[in-house]
């Protein structure tokens, strides 16, 4: 210990694995800890080992991450061939032929100090027919193919309540972050790790050995080795908590296709007989994938279904992915912290994979260790991480549980599933009084829970008593005014294509891969 009673901070950091997780960690940590005396960050990756690389859709927290890194948004969008994302459209989840949007941002405007949706619920009982989507500027703009940034300085405009994320090429994002990280002093080491060396008494990782015999040592190791979980899972033996009972999908097949022209700023998830299909429109192509449960569908049939539902011609061979929903019992063990797939995996239904990496980095910075690696901080990191995985799991299970579909064995299994306790409580509260509860500042907001519960047919048992303060005529007038103001605002927004061109974010026409 030093005279001040503090142990020396960790300064030698080794990241094992590149991809999106590895380079996000490298770029962020080198930015946040710049100026720390003696800091060295090395990232080991092998070009011979591919990355999963299909995490192309994000949620609004990515905007803050990019701002932390000082990224110029127009340049970032252009370099990663990105498009904007105002939400996720769910097709055929509630029943065949039905669709709704889970938007970013909020619905309507709170009135009389209570949430807007209580007035909407009362309006339904009084004969109003407009769905929740009509009260979300994100949902209306997305379907109209329009985009304009949020305007927090205009509190009376619906644009003040807009939120957005990105859809981008994961490979290009990793390469973009690599350039940033290397400019900030991160050293990349090419090669494959063949052995992990540990301290004989403590089990702490001391070094990783490369195929050519070189040793890369470190004080803190960040495991970004993907599903293999080379350090946390294999070397340290941290067990995996399996959630496949609640999340039965365990396979995916991904394939990009050519673009069909101007597209909406939205990710689409279409329910299939044994899972669901994603559609992520980028500037140069469309990302597609079929997530499914192998207990209900074989691999060949899953690929056939994907191929039959592409908007353009396939641009690559199918990329097959096997996974189990869940996470490691601890994502920080001794001097190893896992990020991304090395720590856990929750299917990309709500585009949370990149967020979980980002949240892990933020948590690591909050509890960044000294060389003592005191258990208190490590335990806190693990408690918060496990809680976040659990919250997201419950939100994903809601999509499968809240359905009337009975057209396949898979949907019968999901519909009759006994929900986890946290989800059961939220469903009971909404069915009782129309109230949406959010625990401990969890990732998904009241807007998110409301959109999926209402969108998937969960019937509210009432509304807040204060919604009765307005008489019927005034209530309907206000609801109509909200819809009108949103429609007018969207009508004045440029198309996404126009916005990308005006901001200098559009890629060259020759880079687009058209059908």
Summarize the annotated binding site for 7-chloro-L-tryptophan as residue ranges.
85
Give yes or no for a contact between 329 and 237, defined as CB atoms under 8 angstroms apart. no
Give yes or no for a contact between 31 and 184, defined as CB atoms under 8 angstroms apart. yes
Tokens of 40: 């060295």
Tokens of 359: 């949240």
**Which bin fits 506, alpha (ψ -120 to 50), beta or left (φ > 0)?**
beta
Annotated catalytic residue within 85, 245, 376, 426: 85
Q: What DSSP line would sit under 276-301, residue for residue?
A: EEEEEE-SS-EEEEEEE-TTTS-HHH
Q: At what angle do helices 353-366 and 61-68 cross, to 10 degrees?
A: 50
Q: CB neighbours of 90 closer than 8 A, spacing ≥ 6?
A: 99, 100, 101, 102, 269, 271, 399, 452, 455, 456
Tell me how far CA of residue 208 lies from CA of 24, 188, 223, 294, 314, in angstroms. 21, 14, 11, 35, 39
Q: What DSSP line would sit under 236-267, residue for residue?
A: T---EEE-TTT----EEEE--B-B-SS--SSE
Summarize the annotated binding site for FAD as residue ranges.
18-21, 193, 341, 350, 354
Q: How far apart are CA 237 and CA 261, in angstroms?
A: 48
Strand-pairing partners, residue 13, are 41, 220
Catalytic annotation present for 85: yes
Widest pairwise Cα distance in the chain: 79
CA angle in degrees (0–180, nearest 5) for 100-102-106: 120
Q: How far apart are CA 100 and CA 451, in angstroms?
A: 8
Q: What DSSP line would sit under 44-100, residue for residue?
A: EE-TTS-------B--THHHHHHHHTT--HHHHHHHTT-EEE-EEEEESSSSTT-EE
Radius of gyration of the chain (CA): 24
Summarize the annotated binding site as residue ranges.
18-21, 85, 193, 341, 350, 354
Q: Which residues are catalytic?
A: 85
């Amino acid at each position: 210990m030093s005279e001040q009673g503090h142990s020396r901070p960790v300064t030698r950091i080794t990241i094992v694995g590149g991809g999106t997780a590895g380079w996000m960690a490298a770029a962020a940590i080198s930015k946040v800890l710049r100026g720390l005396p003696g800091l060295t960050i090395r990232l080991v990756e092998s070009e011979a080992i591919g990355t999963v690389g299909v995490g192309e859709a994000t949620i609004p927290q990515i905007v803050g991450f990019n701002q932390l890194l000082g990224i110029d948004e127009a340049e970032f969008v252009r370099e990663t061939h990105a498009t904007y994302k105002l939400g996720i459209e769910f097709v055929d989840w509630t029943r065949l032929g039905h669709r709704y949007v889970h938007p970013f941002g909020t619905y309507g405007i709170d009135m009389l100090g209570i949430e807007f949706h209580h007035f909407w619920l009362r309006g339904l009982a009084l004969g109003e027919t407009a769905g929740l989507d009509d009260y979300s500027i994100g949902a209306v703009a997305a379907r109209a193919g329009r985009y304009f940034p949020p305007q927090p300085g205009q509190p009376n405009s619906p644009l003040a309540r807009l939120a957005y994320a990105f859809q981008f090429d994961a490979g290009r994002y990793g390469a973009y972050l690599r350039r940033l990280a290397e400019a900030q002093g991160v050293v990349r080491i090419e090669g494959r790790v063949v052995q992990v060396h540990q301290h004989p008494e403590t089990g702490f990782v001391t070094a990783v050995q490369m195929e050519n015999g070189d040793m890369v040592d470190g004080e803190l190791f960040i495991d970004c080795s993907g599903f293999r979980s080379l350090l946390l899972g294999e070397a340290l033996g941290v067990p995996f908590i399996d959630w496949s009972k609640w999340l039965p999908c365990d396979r995916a097949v991904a394939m990009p296709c050519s673009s069909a022209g101007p597209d909406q700023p939205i990710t689409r998830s279409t329910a299939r007989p044994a899972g669901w299909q994603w559609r992520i429109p980028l500037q140069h192509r469309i990302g597609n994938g079929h997530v499914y449960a192998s207990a209900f569908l074989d691999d060949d049939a899953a690929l056939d279904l994907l191929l039959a539902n592409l908007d353009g011609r396939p641009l690559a061979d199918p990329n097959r992915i096997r996974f189990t929903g869940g996470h490691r019992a601890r994502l920080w063990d001794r001097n190893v912290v896992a990020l991304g797939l090395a720590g856990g995996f929750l299917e990309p239904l709500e585009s949370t994979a990149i967020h979980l990496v980002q949240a892990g980095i933020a948590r690591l910075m909050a509890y960044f260790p000294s060389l003592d690696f005191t258990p208190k901080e490590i335990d806190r990191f693990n408690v918060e991480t496990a809680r976040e995985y659990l919250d997201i799991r419950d939100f994903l299970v809601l999509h499968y549980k809240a359905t009337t579909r009975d057209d396949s064995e898979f949907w019968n299994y999901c519909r009759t599933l006994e929900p986890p306790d946290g989800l059961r409580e939220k469903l009971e509260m909404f069915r009782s009084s129309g109230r949406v509860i959010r625990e401990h500042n969890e990732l998904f907001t009241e807007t998110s829970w409301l959109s999926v519960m209402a969108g998937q047919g969960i019937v509210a048992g009432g509304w807040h008593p204060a919604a009765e303060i307005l008489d019927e005529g005034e209530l309907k007038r206000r609801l109509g005014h909200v819809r009108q103001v949103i429609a007018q605002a969207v009508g004045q927004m440029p198309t996404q294509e126009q916005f990308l061109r005006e901001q200098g974010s559009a890629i060259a026409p020759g880079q687009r891969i058209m059908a």
